[in-house]
């Protein structure tokens, strides 16, 4: 053998310990995951910042802005921990069937201990009901009943159903003119499906009562672009609240809709380059899918009036961008946080990885 041949041989020997595990894991799951990563590109997007944070404690009901929040792997603190279900069937209710739900108002007490619930037709303070924002086991034991048949989309999960003694069920049933009950997410994890399925995400992650994934991130630059189209079509501009995002970033006015290709994003305190999570300064999200929209954004969140055509028609004309969502326009990106920590308005937002491979998957 000529000495030159030893070089590749030595290299191979040196790399064996690293190559072996990679070859061993060459099963279907890892092949699928690798295929999904093929579309990855190096990022070209300018850093941006968080403009606003929004939580919607009760699914489909009116939420509110917060200056800061605790990000959990399940989503922002308080976000969609509650929902309303039919009192008899325990099937979830949303603005899709009941636009009036957006006139159920939620707020938080100054000390953060209580969630304040009321309805838009009642200005009288006395009609507000306060419930613990983080109910203790003892509170739940005495004031709720754990049900295992709470249905959200095609998932059956558990939830603590508020007892009549709390008063919320009567308040909301009267307002919506049907029998509903309030539910707090139970202890059983609602594991992500579709694009967030553990086989694709590479970890088991769960969420409370959003439709599918923990966090919706949206761009102000993109709603501004949509609004310029709405206005030139003779329609009124709409607020980003209609899309019910959690994290709103400023984005780049020169480049709206670049979020379509986000793959991995990071938020961090300006000027710090710390590690992940609690003590570190940055939080990374896997962007699992685009958010396909129904006609909920046609509903004015203040009046609950549903516009017959807008913004749906305008969006359908140019926002059908996901190959997995042929008949739905997209707005915003669905993310799964890798860690937990404090998020604040003004934090830096960066795109770490982009992809051309997003394709919405409903489930397996």
Ligand X SMILES: *[C@@H]1O[C@H](CO)[C@@H](O)[C@H](O)[C@H]1NC(C)=O
Chain contacts with ligand X (rule: CB under 6 A): 25, 27, 29-30, 138-139, 142-143, 166
Residue 143 or 206 with smaller CB distance to ligand X: 143
Residue 70 or 199 with smaller CB distance to ligand X: 199
| The token pair that represents 50 in the structure block | 């968080």
Smallest separation, CB 29 to ligand X (Å): 4
DSSP conformation class of 276: B
Residue 133 or 143 with smaller CB distance to ligand X: 143
Residue 140 or 176 with smaller CB distance to ligand X: 140
| The token pair that represents 42 in the structure block | 């190096």
Distance, in Å, from the CA atom of 45 to the CA atom of 61, rounded to the nearest integer, reads 34
Residue 156: closest CA among 138, 136, 135, 183: 183
Smallest separation, CB 113 to ligand X (Å): 13
Smallest separation, CB 168 to ligand X (Å): 10
Smallest separation, CB 30 to ligand X (Å): 3
Residue 71: closest CA among 270, 258, 268: 268
Smallest separation, CB 345 to ligand X (Å): 33
Residues 246 and 208: beta-carbon distance below 8 Å: no
Residue 129 or 283 with smaller CB distance to ligand X: 129
Task: Look at the alpha carbons of 291, 297, 302, 306 in this order and tell me if their dihedral is positive or negative.
Answer: negative
The residue to which tokens 């059908």 are assigned:
320
Residue 238: closest CA among 250, 263, 220: 220
Radius of gyration of the chain (CA): 23
Residue 200 or 249 with smaller CB distance to ligand X: 200
Smallest separation, CB 69 to ligand X (Å): 25
């Amino acid at each position: 053998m000529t000495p030159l041949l030893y070089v590749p041989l030595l290299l191979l020997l040196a790399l064996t310990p690293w190559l072996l595990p990679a070859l061993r894991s060459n099963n279907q799951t890892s092949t699928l995951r690798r295929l999904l990563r093929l579309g990855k590109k190096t990022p070209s997007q300018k850093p941006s910042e968080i403009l606003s944070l929004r939580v919607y404690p009760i699914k489909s009901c009116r939420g509110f802005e917060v200056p800061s929040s605790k990000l959990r792997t399940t989503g922002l603190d308080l976000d969609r921990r509650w929902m309303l279900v039919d009192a008899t069937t325990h099937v979830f209710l949303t603005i899709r069937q009941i636009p009036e739900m957006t006139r159920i108002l939620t707020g938080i007490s100054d000390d953060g201990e209580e969630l304040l619930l009321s309805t838009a037709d009642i200005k009288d303070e006395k009609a507000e009901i306060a419930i613990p924002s983080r109910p203790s086991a003892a509170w739940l034991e005495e004031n709720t009943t754990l049900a295992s048949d709470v249905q959200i989309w095609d998932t059956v999960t558990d939830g603590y159903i508020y007892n009549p003694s709390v008063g919320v069920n009567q308040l909301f049933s009267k307002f919506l003119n049907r029998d509903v009950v309030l539910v707090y997410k139970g202890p059983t994890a609602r594991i992500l499906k579709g694009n967030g399925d553990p086989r694709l995400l590479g970890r088991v992650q769960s969420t409370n009562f959003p439709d599918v994934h923990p966090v919706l991130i949206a761009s102000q630059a993109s709603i501004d672009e949509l609004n310029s189209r709405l206005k030139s079509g003779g329609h009124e501009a709409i607020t980003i609240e209609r899309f019910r995002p959690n994290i709103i970033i400023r984005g780049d006015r020169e480049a709206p809709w670049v979020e379509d290709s986000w793959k991995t994003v990071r938020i961090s305190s300006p000027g710090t380059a710390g590690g992940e999570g609690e003590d570190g300064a940055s939080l990374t999200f896997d962007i699992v899918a685009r958010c396909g929209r129904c006609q909920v954004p046609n509903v004015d969140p203040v009046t609950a009036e549903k516009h017959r055509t807008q913004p749906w028609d305008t969006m359908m004309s140019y926002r059908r961008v996901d190959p997995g969502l042929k008949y739905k326009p997209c707005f915003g990106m669905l993310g799964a946080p890798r860690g937990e920590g404090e998020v604040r308005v003004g934090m830096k937002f960066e795109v770490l990885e982009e992809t051309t491979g997003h394709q919405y998957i409903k489930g397996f």
